[in-house]
Structure 1
Amino acid sequence: MGSTAVVVGGGIGGLAAAIGLCRIGWDVTVVERASTLEDAGAGISLAANGLRALDELGVGEAVRDASRGQYRGGTRTPRGRRLARMDGAALENAVGSPIMGIPRSTLHRLLRDSLPAASLRIGSEATSVEQIGPGTVRVGCGDTVLDADLVVAADGIGSKVRNRLFPAHPGPVHSGSTVLRAITEHAVDLPTDFELTWGRGVEFGHIAFLDGRAEWHAVLSLPAGTRFADPLTELRRRFHHWHDPIPALLGATRPAAVLHHDVNELRTPLPSYAIGRIALLGDAAHAMTPHLGQGACQALEDAVVLAAALGTEPTVETALARYDAERRPRSQAVARAAGQAGRMGQQLSHPVAVALRNSAMRLTPSRITMRMLLRHHAWVPPHLT
């Protein structure tokens, strides 16, 4: 089997894939088009399945040390009435860890620091990817050409590699929602580690960090391309009457810190995650809505399964066939569940439907809620040898 790989994309999934390949003895080059890695981004929640994947990659302990466990929290109405309570201790007993909250920039830095600096090609865009023979894939990066035994396309929801491999695929579509998010400038007194609040066609949530700061997000049901001249002022207008600590979170935020993105998804599943010696990973393969908090976790699972297959199968082709067979059913099932969660949660807007959902949530036994979480969280990774 070959031993050189090019990873297209230096996000969380791409870096995790590179770490996994390095751990099985491959020479890896990560091609990232951004000219600088500014550690930008808001926050992220990591469930037990993502943390187990990080353990296999050798960075789980460092990530846990930089994260805050989500033990207290749940879901509320805009007036503060409790719909569901999150029991982080029970989740920890069931799967070994509560959900952990960490700034995305911190996770990215910890992954990047686990790779040899020489393996990162920053400011280098992959302009072409083609298989030039039975055992070689060529990546063009401007004036530079990289030949490898394997290419891992981790170039995000707008993946150009995916578009080349599947030109007839419709690609990502707008989910019907847009999200604004930021990290507070200073610590905020929060009674919970994590919380979601559902209104009619809108969600507000927060994740508390170790240093007392918090990430908040507001998901609104709006057409694609909707933007506000002053996003923070607009959010303060929309949420000023919602329960504490929502106004305080917005009040602790600098206007320049607010990020605004439409929520897109790969609604039409791909028929395969690999063609020849090119594998798709993370959002390039299965971009999903954020309503289950599983996007990054699924990319981390991809990375470990890919490395394990390449470390044990006799050829790259058989390894990629195994990767596709293991990852496509699970990740696409999680993507469908995330879309359904959004339709029954944040995107629900009819007052009667909202009232029925809220009543159902209050009456649902905690064991049923736990069973739903375990379906996604209780994943056991293969060992990397």
Structure 2
Amino acid sequence: MTTPEPTSPPTAPPTISIAIIGSGIIGTILALGLLNLPSTPTSPKLSIKIYEQSTSPREIGAGIGFTATARKCMELMDPRIAACITAVATLNGEPSSPDYSMRFVDGFRTFPTAAGSEYDTSDQDISVHGKVYKLYAGPRGFEGCHRAHFLGEMMKLLPEGVVEFGKRVDGFGYLGGGGVRVSFEGGEEGVECDLVIACDGIKSRVRELLFSPAYNAKYAHQLAFRGLVPMDRAIEKLGRHRALKQHMHCGPHAHVLHFPVAKQQLMNVVAFVPDPKEWDLRQGMTAPASRSEVVDAFREWGPFVRGVIDLLPEEMDKWAVFDTYDCPVPAYAEGRVALAGDAAHASSPHHGAGAGMGVEDALALVAAMGKVREDVGRGVGVGRALDVALQAYSKVRYERSQWLVRSSRHVCRTYEWEAPDIGADMDQAFADIRERSHKIWYFDVEAMVADVQKECRRLMQ
């Protein structure tokens, strides 16, 4: 009888360690998407760790909204993420009949009129010069929420131990096998990993280390004055229609946005004004401000906008607008280090899509890592698969996200009647706003996923 030859036990699939820098909204969404990737017996395991410089979970105290496109990305990564928005979001309009349109009006020539007069319409409590321009944003397309509330809901979904706080990146270096060693400030013990993904925001330390300080975000010479108004006061002064629905008031060299938050208990007001001075980002992005600063900027505007400004609290914050318009990075990945969200393409807030663009990045990275697991499962080396995945991610995401940075600056000029060949013509302004907004909102995210996978296959040849 022939003795069968001994067989080797099956080799266990490798583990790929991923360090995500930053536990803000994009870093947390990315981690949840990666943790939710389906696995097979032969696919490598993913070890996910988030390193956050703050000592506890925190987000800036500002409102945020997501487009239907961003929600679709969340659904594809993990349906629970989109459910977190629903849990904390505030409907636009009356609770019994939500409105998913954004409204753009001439705020400079706004004036009150009596019912039945030349400019009176059924769509407003105080009429504007000519018309109200409504832009449908899709189902649940405009629902504001507080950044910290949304992040708090998502943090509940992360397994215990995934996030380590008090870890501010000091530097990184490449290991002999292509991996990365990340060091932290204050003598904190460094970590070794296969891949680093920086989601550390507009002041990204990793972006600075990966390229140079020349690519740090620059001041856009614009201030955003933010204030919260009790909704009962807003309704009393502005009427229910205006107070409970999002409105963008356009005019010369400034603009004002307001929308409901906190389950319609508050109206969030943001007034944008130019600032010729310089601002050092190292001092932070906010400073104390007074209502009188805003009153002066809108003194010549119509009575409705002046009424909105009068509702602001006497003491508030002003936020400096920074972006990477003047200093775009050449790529979103180099070696085994990648950038995502504001770390890759910080934009001004005028499209309200900066966070949504980061969510798209997260989906593209999840798709790329799904391809890595597939390739490694069929015998491709981990290093080769990761290199290809990051190159594919950078190529697929670069053009669209850099367009957003440029378009956000441009659409601000449209709001503020500074765009060439448009000026104060609100018909043309709205046409420009609609075209740019639709490019953001009507994006085929499933085709983007397919493009990432296709590019991975091309590079692997």
Structure 1 residue 229: Cα displacement: 6.5
Give the Cα separation in 2 of the matches to 1:339 and 1:43.
20
Structure 1 or 2, whichever has the larger Rg, is 2
Give the Cα separation in 1 of the matches to 2:322 and 2:212.
22
Residue deviations 1:245-273 (CA, integer Å, cap 9, x gap)? 66356535472x53422333342322210
Structure 1 residue 18: Cα displacement: 1.6
Residue deviations 1:205-231 (CA, integer Å, cap 9, x gap)? 112123331221111110233998742
What letter matches 2:356 in structure 1? C
Residue number in structure 2 paired with 1:375 = 439
Residue deviations 1:118-153 (CA, integer Å, cap 9, x gap)? 211222211122222334211112322121111111
Residue number in structure 2 paired with 1:182 = 227
What does residue range 1-385 of structure 1 map to in structure 2 within 5 Å?
2-24=15-37, 26-56=46-76, 57-58=78-79, 59-67=81-89, 68-69=91-92, 70-71=100-101, 73-80=103-110, 81=128, 84-88=132-136, 91-92=137-138, 96-141=139-184, 142-167=187-212, 169-185=214-230, 188-189=234-235, 190-192=240-242, 193-209=245-261, 210-222=263-275, 223-225=277-279, 230-239=289-298, 242-244=302-304, 247-248=307-308, 251=311, 253=313, 255=315, 257-313=316-372, 314=375, 315-346=385-416, 348=418, 356-359=422-425, 361-362=426-427, 370-382=434-446
Give the Cα separation in 2 of the matches to 1:38 and 1:158.
16
> Cα distance 1:135–1:230, how it changes in 2: closer, same or farther (>3 A)?
closer
Give the Cα separation in 2 of the matches to 1:260 and 1:213.
19
The alignment partner of 1:176 has SS state of: strand
> Cα distance 1:211–1:365, how it changes in 2: closer, same or farther (>3 A)?
closer
Structure 1 residue 311: Cα displacement: 0.8
Give the Cα separation in 1 of the matches to 2:72 and 2:297.
39
- How does the TM-score come out when normalised to structure 1? 0.86
Are the counterparts in 2 of residues 43 and 207 from structure 1 also a CA contact under 8 Å? no
Structure 2 gap segments, 5+ residues each: 1-13, 38-44, 93-99, 111-127, 281-285, 376-384, 454-461
Residue deviations 1:173-204 (CA, integer Å, cap 9, x gap)? 22221222133355532524211112321111
Are the counterparts in 2 of residues 52 and 380 from structure 1 also a CA contact under 8 Å? no
> Cα distance 1:250–1:38, how it changes in 2: closer, same or farther (>3 A)?
farther
Are the counterparts in 2 of residues 203 and 218 from structure 1 also a CA contact under 8 Å? yes
Structure 1 residue 75: Cα displacement: 2.8
Structure 1 gap segments, 5+ residues each: none
Structure 1 residue 297: Cα displacement: 0.6
- How does the TM-score come out when normalised to structure 2? 0.72
Give the Cα separation in 1 of the matches to 2:135 and 2:188.
54
Give the Cα separation in 2 of the matches to 1:125 and 1:42.
23
Structure 1 residue 321: Cα displacement: 1.2
Are the counterparts in 1 of residues 289 and 317 from structure 2 also a CA contact under 8 Å? no
What letter matches 1:362 in structure 2? D
Equivalent residues, number: 373
Structure 1 residue 364: Cα displacement: 6.9
What letter matches 1:344 in structure 2? T
Which protein has greater RCO, CA pairs closer than 8 Å, 6+ apart?
1
Residue deviations 1:29-88 (CA, integer Å, cap 9, x gap)? 211112233444211121122111222232113313432244362232234235651243
Are the counterparts in 1 of residues 415 and 429 from structure 2 also a CA contact under 8 Å? no
Give the Cα separation in 1 of the matches to 2:266 and 2:441.
26
The alignment partner of 2:49 has SS state of: strand
Structure 1 residue 302: Cα displacement: 0.4
Give the Cα separation in 2 of the matches to 1:179 and 1:372.
22
Give the Cα separation in 1 of the matches to 2:217 and 2:398.
17
Give the Cα separation in 2 of the matches to 1:177 and 1:46.
23
Give the Cα separation in 1 of the matches to 2:257 and 2:414.
16
After TM superposition, the structure 1 stretch with the greater mean CA deviation from structure 2, 76-85 or 293-302, is: 76-85
> Cα distance 1:102–1:127, how it changes in 2: closer, same or farther (>3 A)?
same
Once the two structures are aligned, what percentage of the paired residues are identical?
21
> Cα distance 1:246–1:14, how it changes in 2: closer, same or farther (>3 A)?
farther
The alignment partner of 1:191 has SS state of: helix
After TM superposition, the structure 1 stretch with the greater mean CA deviation from structure 2, 370-379 or 200-209, is: 370-379
Give the Cα separation in 2 of the matches to 1:203 and 1:171.
27
Structure 1 residue 295: Cα displacement: 0.6
Give the Cα separation in 2 of the matches to 1:371 and 1:348.
17
